[in-house]
C-alpha cells in the first residue's frame, strides 16, 4: 500500500467505539443499537479525492445516523441487508445494491448483520465534473437508488478498479493523473446513476440561453471535431447541465443534436453540389465520417432515403435498382475518390503501411457523457 494513502483500521465491541470509528471518516456520525453492544470491524482508505470505508458489523438493530452529510456518500451493500432513510425516502438494500446520501442530508442506515462499503466524495471532484467552484457545489438529488442496473454495475466495477488496482498498486497510485481520473470516473458514474444536478442548473429558466450558446458552438464546428465538454464550456454549464437543458427543451441528447445538425448540413451540401461532381464520400468526410456506410445509415434513418437517392433525384437520374441501400453507392463513391485523390481519398496522399486511419469523429462520442 502506498504510504501517502492513509489507512485507518478499527475494531469495536460497543457503540461508543464504533461511533469514534465513523467520526474519523465522516466527521459527524453516531452508531446505536438496542443493547449498546456491537461487533464492528472497519477499514478506511483515505485519499484527497475519495474515502472508502469497508465495514462489517453485527448487532441488535444497528443504526448509523449521519446528520447533515458533509460529503456525498454512496452505500454499497456487499452482503446482508440494510435500510436507508433520507430526505423522506426509504429504500431496502440487498447484496450489491447501492444507495445515496446527498450532501447536507440527514440520513440513517439500519441493519443487523451486513458487510458494506461506504464511499465519501468531497466537493473537489464534484466541482471539477460540474465545472463550478468548490464553494458553488449545491447538488439536487431526485433519487437515492440508481436509475439503471447497468450504471449500478458500472459503479461496482469502477469501485473495484479504484480500491484494488489504483489504491492497491504503488506504481499506479503514485501517478496523480491516473488516480484522479479514476476518482473522476467514479464521481461521474454517481452523478449519472443518481441523476444529480447542481441546483444552479436545475431550473429551466436559463435553458434557452444555454441551448442557443450550445447550438452556436455546434454550428461553428460542423466540419471539425468538438467534444460535448467543450460545448458545455462554451454554453457556460457543466456537461450534466447541458444534457438536462437539451432533454427538457428538445427531448434529445446534445451529441445526437450535433449529429442532426451535421446531417442537415450534409444534405444541403448534397443538394447544392449534386451537379459539380461532389461524391458521397466527399460529403461524408467533410462532416466527420470516415466510413461512408455509417454516414449512409445515419442519413437514411434521418431522411428516409439514402444519400445516393438524394443525388440521383437532384440530378434527375434514375437510382440503380441494384443499390436498394447506399452501401454499394458509398463504395463506388470511394473508388471515384481514390481515382481523383489517390488511394487514401485525400489529395496527394498514398495508402501505405502504417498510414493513419481516419476516425469517424461525427459518428462517435469523443468523451464519456452522462
d(CA 102, CA 140): 8
Please check the confidence at residue 337 and state whether its pLDDT lies above 60: no
What is the pLDDT at residue 366? Answer: 45
> 200: which residues sit within 8 A by CB, 6+ positions away?
132, 136, 138
Q: How confident is the model at residue 131 (pLDDT cuts 50, 70, 90)?
A: low
Please check the confidence at residue 348 and state whether its pLDDT lies above 50: no
Please check the confidence at residue 363 and state whether its pLDDT lies above 60: no
Measured from the Cβ of residue 176, the count of other Cβ atoms closer than 10 Å reads 9
Range 26-59 burial, b when 16+ CB lie within 10 A, else e: beebbbbbeeeebebbbebbebebbbbbbbbbbb
Q: How far apart are the first and last CA of the chain?
A: 32
**Cell reading at 267:** 444534405
Residues 170 and 118 in one domain: yes
What is the pLDDT at residue 18? Answer: 97
Angle made by CA atoms 196, 200, 203, in degrees to the nearest 5: 85
What is the pLDDT at residue 340? Answer: 35
Residues 110 and 185 in one domain: yes
Residues 267 and 329 in one domain: yes
Domain containing residue 152: 6-193
In a domain, 350, yes or no: no
Over the stretch 90-126, which tens digit does the pLDDT of each residue have? 999 999 999 999 999 999 999 999 999 999 999 888 8
Residues 74 and 169 in one domain: yes
Average pLDDT, the chain: 83
d(CA 55, CA 42): 5
Cα distances (Å, whole numbers) of residue 49 to 36, 96, 125: 34, 23, 6
| Domain harbouring 232, CATH code | 1.10.10
Q: Please tell me the least confidently modeled range out of 7-21, 133-147, 248-262, 328-342.
A: 328-342
d(CA 140, CA 339): 57
In a domain, 364, yes or no: no
Over the stretch 58-91, which tens digit does the pLDDT of each residue have? 999 999 999 999 999 999 999 999 999 999 999 9
Residues 114 and 245 in one domain: no
What is the pLDDT at residue 38? Answer: 96
Residues 70 and 158 in one domain: yes
Over the stretch 159-208, which tens digit does the pLDDT of each residue have? 999 998 888 888 888 888 888 889 999 999 999 999 887 765 555 667 88
Residues 95 and 113 in one domain: yes
What is the pLDDT at residue 317? Answer: 74
In a domain, 357, yes or no: no
48: three-class secondary structure by DSSP: coil
What stretches of the chain show up as alpha helix (H) in DSSP? 15-26, 123-130, 149-160, 170-173, 176-193, 199-202, 207-219, 228-235, 239-250, 254-272, 280-286, 292-303, 307-315, 327-341
In a domain, 359, yes or no: no
Half-sphere exposure of 316 (CA within 13 A, CB side): 1
> 215: which residues sit within 8 A by CB, 6+ positions away?
257, 261
Residues 148 and 287 in one domain: no
What is the pLDDT at residue 343? Answer: 35
| Domain harbouring 295, CATH code | 1.10.10.60
In a domain, 351, yes or no: no
In a domain, 363, yes or no: no
Residues 362-369: what's their mean pLDDT?
Answer: 48
d(CA 99, CA 87): 13
In a domain, 160, yes or no: yes
Residues 67 and 212 in one domain: no
What is the pLDDT at residue 360? Answer: 64
Residues 22 and 165 in one domain: yes
What is the pLDDT at residue 202? Answer: 54
Where do we find the cell 466527420?
288
What is the pLDDT at residue 334? Answer: 39
Q: What is the DSSP code (8-state) at residue 277?
A: T
Residues 208-225: what's their mean pLDDT?
Answer: 92
Please check the confidence at residue 294 and state whether its pLDDT lies above 70: yes
In a domain, 225, yes or no: yes
d(CA 146, CA 190): 8
Cα distances (Å, whole numbers) of residue 2 to 160, 168, 254, 345: 17, 8, 41, 51
Residues 246 and 262 in one domain: no
Please check the confidence at residue 331 and state whether its pLDDT lies above 70: no
Residues 205 and 294 in one domain: no
Counting the structural domains of the chain, the total is 3
| Domain harbouring 188, CATH code | 2.60.120.10
Range 178-190 burial, b when 16+ CB lie within 10 A, else e: ebbebbbbbbbbb
d(CA 197, CA 335): 49
Over the stretch 241-262, which tens digit does the pLDDT of each residue have? 888 888 888 889 999 999 999 9
d(CA 166, CA 187): 15
Amino acid at each position: 500500500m502506498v504510504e501517502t494513502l492513509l489507512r485507518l483500521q478499527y475494531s469495536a465491541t460497543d457503540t461508543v467505539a464504533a461511533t469514534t470509528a465513523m467520526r474519523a471518516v465522516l466527521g459527524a456520525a453516531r452508531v446505536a443499537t438496542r443493547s449498546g453492544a456491537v461487533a464492528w470491524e472497519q477499514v478506511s482508505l483515505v485519499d484527497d479525492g475519495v474515502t472508502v470505508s469497508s465495514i462489517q458489523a453485527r448487532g441488535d438493530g444497528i443504526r448509523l445516523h449521519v446528520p447533515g452529510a458533509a460529503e456525498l456518500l454512496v452505500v454499497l451493500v456487499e452482503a446482508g441487508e440494510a435500510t436507508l432513510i433520507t430526505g423522506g425516502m426509504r429504500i431496502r438494500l440487498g447484496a450489491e445494491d447501492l444507495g445515496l446520501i446527498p450532501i447536507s442530508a440527514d440520513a440513517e442506515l439500519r441493519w443487523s448483520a451486513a458487510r458494506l462499503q461506504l464511499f465519501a466524495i468531497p466537493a473537489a471532484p464534484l466541482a471539477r465534473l460540474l465545472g463550478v467552484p468548490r464553494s458553488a457545489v449545491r447538488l439536487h438529488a431526485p433519487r437515492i437508488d440508481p436509475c439503471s442496473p447497468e450504471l449500478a454495475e458500472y459503479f461496482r466495477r469502477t469501485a473495484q478498479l479504484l480500491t484494488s488496482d489504483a489504491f492497491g498498486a504503488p506504481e499506479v497510485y503514485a501517478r496523480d493523473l491516473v488516480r484522479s481520473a479514476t476518482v473522476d470516473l467514479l464521481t461521474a458514474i454517481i452523478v449519472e446513476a443518481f441523476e444529480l444536478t447542481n441546483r444552479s442548473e436545475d431550473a429551466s429558466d436559463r435553458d434557452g440561453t444555454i441551448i442557443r450558446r450550445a447550438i452556436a458552438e455546434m454550428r461553428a464546428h460542423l466540419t471539425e471535431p468538438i467534444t460535448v465538454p467543450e460545448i458545455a464550456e462554451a454554453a457556460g454549464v457543466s456537461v450534466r447541465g447541458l444534457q438536462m437543458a437539451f432533454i427538457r427543451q428538445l427531448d434529445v441528447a446534445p451529441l445526437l443534436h450535433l449529429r442532426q445538425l451535421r446531417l442537415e448540413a450534409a444534405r444541403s451540401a448534397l443538394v447544392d453540389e449534386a451537379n459539380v461532381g461532389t461524391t458521397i464520400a466527399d460529403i461524408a468526410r467533410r462532416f466527420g465520417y470516415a466510413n461512408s456506410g455509417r454516414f449512409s445509415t445515419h442519413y437514411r434513418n434521418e431522411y428516409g432515403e439514402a444519400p445516393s437517392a438524394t443525388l440521383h433525384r437532384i440530378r434527375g437520374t434514375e437510382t440503380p435498382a441494384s443499390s436498394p441501400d447506399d452501401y454499394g453507392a458509398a463504395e463506388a463513391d470511394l473508388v471515384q475518390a481514390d481515382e481523383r485523390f489517390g488511394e487514401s481519398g485525400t489529395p496527394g496522399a498514398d495508402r501505405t503501411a502504417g498510414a493513419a486511419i481516419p476516425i469517424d469523429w461525427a459518428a462517435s462520442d469523443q468523451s464519456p457523457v452522462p
